[in-house]
Structure 1
Amino acid sequence: MAAPTPRQGLGVWAPELNAKVASAQQALAFLDELSSQLQDVKAQLSLKLAGSYVREGALEKQQHRLAQLWKDRAEHSGHRLDAQLAYSGDTPARQRFRIRGLDQQSLQASGQETLVFSLNGAPRHTMSLRIEAGLPPAALAGRFNRALVPAGIQVSPNAQGQLDYFTVPEAQWPQVRDSLAIKGDGKRFPTGQFARVRAEPEPAIIDPGAWELDGPSGLRQALPQIVRAAQQSDAARAEVLRSLADAEHSLSRPETAGDVAAVRAFAQSFEEQTRTANYPILSAVSPSLLGLPRYRIDSLLALP
């Protein structure tokens, strides 16, 4: 049986930090690959726009590779990069979407109404809230967020102070898209029966599978998407690197008085795990210990 990796060994004692670092490394690897493929497609596309020679089928092959990479974005990025290439840090990436009829203008007009939401078409799993004309965006957002907690749906005012997009963890988006229904009092939504909502996702920053690269018009439409995605990829990469640097700093800083309890817990866990001659555990622990700074070992041994 293959021995566990050092990452598995570390997970016994620092699962949250280890998971954070692992997902950040996945996101970084994805961004590196995405940046490389975007540059390749951009180079070929620019040559074709300029009328230069491009080997037959080369651009289409690169487009297909990019489309497949983008299709696998969520899994390959550790579920930390959304469709806009925004890095979500410690939490899974979220899908932004609009619900037709629940925009800022309709919500602040038409008087009082009780909205009842249902997921999967099950009335017993309903969520309701009361809205009335003139409610400020922050108050509206608060009511939606409290009511829609079971569905994982959130909303917050945008930079202009307007309610614009709802969000949901990407893993839950298909369920929300396919089964979210609303029943109202007849002002904004019909009475009596649940009606499926039209949940419209925010367009992704790129859509390689939809590009038509066999003519100048399609080439010119694809190029701005590639440029924007490359710029956002660089920004996301910088954010991921900052996250990894913070994680490294938390591991390398000297121990303080407030860390004594954590160190004692670590020592006890370490002793319990290594008390028996368990080769898989020891093979995972040994590489991990090689990276421990001397001062951490000294501070651990100095504990009463």
Structure 2
Amino acid sequence: METTLRPNTSAGLSGATIGPAVATKAPARPAAAQPASNAPDNASAASPANAAQAAPLRSKATSVDGGLQDQVARAQQAVDYLNRIASQLESLKGELTAKLTGARSAMQTGSASAAASASASASNVRQQLETQVRQLTATLNARKQTAGGSVDANLSYTPEPAVQKFRIRELDLDSLQQNAPQTLAFSVGGVGGPQTSVTIQPDQSSDEAARAIDRALAPMGVRAGVDERGALVFSTPESNWPAVKDSIAVSGRGKVTADEVPASPAPQQWSTANTDALRQNLREVVQALERVRQSQAAASNALAAATVEVASSETPPPQVELAAQDFASAASNTDYDSLLALTSALVGVSRERVVALLGLR
């Protein structure tokens, strides 16, 4: 049987006449094989157009929704973190107020029994106060991991990634202006890293000099400005800070020292030894609460806006028409790439889902 099949197969493929019945079927086999042999050519010829047509259907909604979902997630993390911080600060404010009130009452009473009672109460309050300070310190230390990257070290909310502020010991505006004109060359990233330069002019004000330095450093991911005291202060995204803090060099000064601007509040540095220290702690808590309240409002507004945008993130009408045209064009092709794109796009799309979506119009 094997010797019989081989000649028939070769004859059929070569178009040889082996009898009326076989001759009738022989063309059918090449005809059936013709699309398969031409499929790679058709697929390769059609694949660029099909890829261009299919991409808007799959990637636009995904990229838009992904970005919006990320905004919602980061804003939600910021809101949750700020709510937790606000609750701890409120409790700490109450404990500090109670301790100060108890100390004042003991001083006014002056009796031995009152003093003993006040001392026992103060001991309990102090233990509670120390516990709450430790909890607040732990929450502040976890800010970078739990606040969505939008709450800075001063508990201020920003839609942009939080930044780390720092100062360069070897640079201050007064000395720069006194020695003007002078040109400073900055390098960030160690030896061989990118460099930039700026010239400080004698007639420049402090703000103008800071803006000139800012323009020079901006391409390196570092910004410069003037704080409320008129001192030069720098900033960079917190994610970029580890790469920046040990790699800044300035011409004529070599590698410079970058010091973080202290965060506020800083409960790890608080003292509960006397009433003056407690009053200072209370002032810091009240100031921090004020900033947190403002940040809560800003983060809540950002969350609400992002949520509304996600809810209304349907494809705009012009893109709907374009997507429909692309889909119709892809459906009119019968090559492999078009069929693959269509079947992939329609996975899980049932009649019920289509009817439900049409009912929203």
Q: TM-score range by the shorter chain?
A: 0.7 to 0.9
Aligned CA-pair RMSD = 3.6
> Does the CA contact (< 8 Å) of 2:187 and 2:250 recur in 1?
yes
> Does the CA contact (< 8 Å) of 2:95 and 2:125 recur in 1?
no
- Which of the pair has more CA radius of gyration? 2
Hey, what's the Cα distance between the residues in 2 that align with 1:179 and 1:170? Answer: 15
Higher helix share: 2
Hey, what's the Cα distance between the residues in 1 that align with 2:273 and 2:357? Answer: 58
Equivalence map 1:149-298=2 (5 Å): 149-156=218-225, 164-184=232-252, 190=253, 194=254, 196-251=255-310, 259-263=316-320, 275-276=346-347, 297-298=360-361
- Name the CA shift for 1:259/1:111 in 2 (closer, same or farther; >3 Å): same
Aligned to 1:74: 144
> Does the CA contact (< 8 Å) of 2:164 and 2:260 recur in 1?
yes
1:216 positional shift: 2.6
Q: Which amino acid counterpart does residue 97 of structure 1 have in structure 2?
A: F
TM-score for the superposition, normalised by structure 1: 0.73
> Does the CA contact (< 8 Å) of 2:246 and 2:257 recur in 1?
no
Aligned to 1:48: 99
Hey, what's the Cα distance between the residues in 2 that align with 1:225 and 1:141? Answer: 29
Out of 203, 223, 233, the position equivalent to 1:134 is 203
Hey, what's the Cα distance between the residues in 1 that align with 2:223 and 2:267? Answer: 29
> Does the CA contact (< 8 Å) of 1:11 and 1:18 recur in 2?
no
Deviates further, 231-240 or 117-126: 117-126
1:180 positional shift: 1.6
Out of 186, 189, 194, the position equivalent to 1:117 is 186
- Name the CA shift for 1:164/1:111 in 2 (closer, same or farther; >3 Å): closer
Q: Percent identity?
A: 30
The unaligned stretches of length 5 or more in structure 1 are: 1-9, 185-189, 299-304
Hey, what's the Cα distance between the residues in 2 that align with 1:12 and 1:273? Answer: 18
| Partner deviation per Cα, 1:52-96 (whole Å, 9 max, x = no partner) | 62356322221111101001112211110111222111x201122
Q: Which amino acid counterpart does residue 134 of structure 1 have in structure 2?
A: D
Hey, what's the Cα distance between the residues in 2 that align with 1:166 and 1:135? Answer: 19
1:138 positional shift: 5.8
> Does the CA contact (< 8 Å) of 2:68 and 2:309 recur in 1?
no
Hey, what's the Cα distance between the residues in 1 that align with 2:292 and 2:88? Answer: 12
- The runs of 4+ residues in structure 1 deviating greater than 4 Å are 10-13, 136-139, 157-160, 251-255, 261-274, 292-295
